Amino acid sequence: MPTRADFEGRERPTWCPGCGNHAILNAIKMALVEQNMEPHQLFIVTGIGCGSKLPHYMKATGFHTLHGRTLAVATGARLANHGLPVMTVHGDGDGYGEGLSHFLNAVRRNVNIVDVVQDNRIYGLTKGQYAPTSEKGKVTPTSPEGAIEQPVEPLPLAITAGATFVSRGYSGELKHLVWLIGEALDHPGYALIDVLQPCVTFNRSYAYDFYNERVYKLEDEAGYDPDDRAAAWAKAQEWGERIPIGIFYRGDPLPTYEEQVPALKAGPLVEQRLSTLSPGQVNALRGEIS
């Protein structure tokens, strides 16, 4: 049986004291232990941002890729070896800004990936520019007169694009976040966990005091049904005096992208034998190249 100590990395996190990324790191470790998974049994892909350094701070098979390309690389990993669970961990700027098209395509393709987005509503690594999730009017170093764009709303966007597991966690609710990650790992197909994560340095208007007064759990709401897609879409837009966390939508599983690729029906590519080409096939390929 694995323990949290099995996932301890050699490096200590350089995140600011109080940053929500500390809780997200611990929640992932705890969830993997509860799932009885060893460090080599999960592939973690991250992008660029403070939180994307997570694989440096835990013992895991990880790949630290380019800004906004997290889900594209994770999709490639699933196609190369769909027998290996894949998780992405990246920020809202990486996932909903530079990587927005990859986000939508991963959802509609239903690639079997657990997508953990560290949503601090700011670009923390590059000193506090407004992010795609920042509210209209947000004053930052790059928007001194206030941001003029409307924010991206990832949860209703994911539901509209066809996701069958759409959820939100909060780094101030560790056990709840551990539960969400475990549920997402068990779900067949794309699974979104948007994690409200305070940036205590560059976005203090959304600190723990703000969230602690407003966050409530959907599973405590009498009559809420995560199977109801229309109700989930409406609930996903609730933001203000009350902010819901939990599983907004869990639809019936759909065929995953990997299950529909003919070349993968014989098993993961890494386990398939390479076919031997005949001399005629080799010459034909040479002809195409020339």
Q: What is the pLDDT of residue 82?
A: 95
Amino acid at site 107: V
- Predicted confidence (pLDDT) per residue in 16-29, tens digit: 999 999 999 999 99
- Predicted confidence (pLDDT) per residue in 175-186, tens digit: 999 999 999 999
Total domains present in the chain: 1
User: How far apart (Å, rounded) are the C-alpha atoms in residues 122 and 205?
Assistant: 11
Provide the whole-model pTM.
Answer: 0.93
Task: Find the domain containing 56 and state its range.
Answer: 4-289
Neighbouring C-alpha atoms within 13 Å toward the C-beta of 16: 15
- What CATH number corresponds to the domain at position 132? 3.40.50.970
Helix segments in the chain, DSSP class H: 21-34, 70-80, 92-93, 100-109, 154-161, 174-186, 208-212, 229-235, 279-289
User: How far apart (Å, rounded) are the C-alpha atoms in residues 73 and 63?
Assistant: 9
User: How far apart (Å, rounded) are the C-alpha atoms in residues 32 and 75?
Assistant: 21
Helix segments in 162-212, DSSP class H: 174-186, 208-212
pLDDT mean over 69-96: 96
- Predicted confidence (pLDDT) per residue in 180-216, tens digit: 999 999 999 999 999 999 999 999 999 999 999 999 9
